[in-house]
Amino acid sequence: MLQSRLAELKFAPGPIDGVFGRSTTQAIWAFEKLVMSVRSDKATGVVTPEMWDVLRSDVQIRPRRNADTPRHAEAYLPEQVIVTFLGGEPTLISHMSSGDNKPWCEEVVIDPGEEGNDSPEQIAAGLPLKVGICGDSVTPAGIFTFYRRSSGTRETKLGTLYNPVYFNQGIAVHGAILVPLKPASHGCIRIPMSVAQLFPALVQFRDRIYVFDGVKEPEEYGSPLPPADRPDPNYTTTTVLPTTTLPATTVPTAVPVTTIPATTVPKTVPTTLPTSTTVP
């Protein structure tokens, strides 16, 4: 019943199989953060009687913006939740992890065709490139447009991305094995691998994504570019790697923890959700 209700509300709990696994836990995290107003790093994945009562009530998830496209996405950095909408109704709600706002320097591998290995000559050669790069792990707030996507696993300046859908230069919504409760990416919006199998079909080219940071409205930021990366001054070797075949990505399977018991719940607790806002 818990998984069915989460799925009905579009929280993507994974297979409706009665197993309280990873996908169900991550769906509960998203519900805790978005509906129960639990701080993003304090979500527990535990269904309390109060939460179950709210789950059974008339929960309404509404967009914070009326987009100029039929479909759009909204990413809430304070809550670490991303939602896709169609005609004002949610089609997917997911836990996420954005940039941690820290500087970084790493050796990275860049697939041909990705930023940094995308000149006509490099694309024609079809070889991965290994370089040392420094950057800042920032997910800019603002209004953006989905403009490019790839299927499967891609190696980029910002790391390993699964089914990425890009919206701000190299920043994308993409699947990742590690999607913790705190911001942890180099700037992208990480979502669980199982959710990344669903997300690309729910947005199209030129669809809007609104990124909220809880400080100012997205419209006040416009469409700022991410911080520019730079060569690592301590890195001495740039290597063109031989062509390799990447292994197939395996989506983590649900690990049984316990079955969902029948629960007697207390009276309904009202929930206050963000109201729709019309953007002029």
Q: What does each of the 280 residues of the chain score in pLDDT, given as a tens digit?
A: 999 999 999 999 999 999 999 999 999 999 999 999 999 999 999 999 999 999 999 999 999 999 988 999 999 999 999 999 999 999 999 999 999 999 999 999 999 999 999 999 999 999 999 999 999 999 999 999 999 999 999 999 999 999 999 999 999 999 999 999 999 999 999 999 999 999 999 999 999 999 999 999 999 999 999 999 999 999 987 666 665 554 554 444 443 443 434 433 333 333 333 333 333 3
Work out the burial of residue 132: count CB atoms within 10 Å of its CB; fewer than 13 is exposed, 13-18 middle, 19 or more buried. middle
Tokens 């009905």 locate to 8
- Give the total residue count for the chain: 280
- CA-to-CA distance for 138 and 187, rounded, in angstroms? 5
Work out the burial of residue 31: count CB atoms within 10 Å of its CB; fewer than 13 is exposed, 13-18 middle, 19 or more buried. buried
- How much is the pTM? 0.83
CATH topology of domain 103-190+220-240: L,D-transpeptidase catalytic domain-like (2.40.440)
